[in-house]
Amino acid sequence: MSEEFLYSDGKIKIGYNPHSFEDHIAYFGDEEDIIHIPRGVLKELGETHGLENIASKIDTFNPNARYILSDYGLTINDLALAITQARIQEESNMVSHLLSAVREYKEKLEELTESQHL
């Protein structure tokens, strides 16, 4: 898979669903096992305080998550931490994109302002 992941530690990888950019997928092992993370859940989990609360919400959206994780020697808390870090990266990417857009608009504004003074 050639996509860029929001989070990858060798055990868990989290990235966008290639079929729906608003959804996410957590990959395990050689990316054979996955947990689908529906739209909005990554944000919700990233903003939830307390690993216990995050773990409870993961159980709600995917009751099989614990079984998949146990096959890889992982816990629901490992996934909760990975999801939170993926959300941090997603937010960081959005901020970088917005800052880049602001710079472009400022440059355009400067060009327009200079052309009025000519």
Q: Is 48 part of a structural domain of the chain?
A: yes
Give buried/exposed letters for 94-114 (b at 16+ CB in 10 A, else e).
eeeeeeeeeeeeeeeeeeeee
Would the pLDDT of 103 be above 70? yes
Q: Is 46 part of a structural domain of the chain?
A: yes
Q: Which domain holds residue 49?
A: 7-93
If one counts the domains in the chain, the total is 1
Q: Is 116 part of a structural domain of the chain?
A: no
Would the pLDDT of 2 be above 80? no
Q: Is 38 part of a structural domain of the chain?
A: yes
Average pLDDT over residues 95-101: 86
Q: Is 115 part of a structural domain of the chain?
A: no
Q: Is 107 part of a structural domain of the chain?
A: no
Please report the pLDDT score of residue 29 as a whole number.
83
Q: Is 73 part of a structural domain of the chain?
A: yes
Could you give the CA distance from residue 15 to residue 20 in angstroms, rounded to a whole number? 11
Please report the pLDDT score of residue 10 as a whole number.
87
CB distance 83 to 6 below 8 Å: no
Could you give the CA distance from residue 5 to residue 83 in angstroms, rounded to a whole number? 12
Would the pLDDT of 104 be above 70? yes
CA atoms within 13 A on the CB side of 84: 16
Average pLDDT over residues 74-102: 89
Q: What is the pLDDT of residues 54-72, one digit of tens each?
A: 888 888 888 989 999 999 9
Q: What is the pTM of this model?
A: 0.77
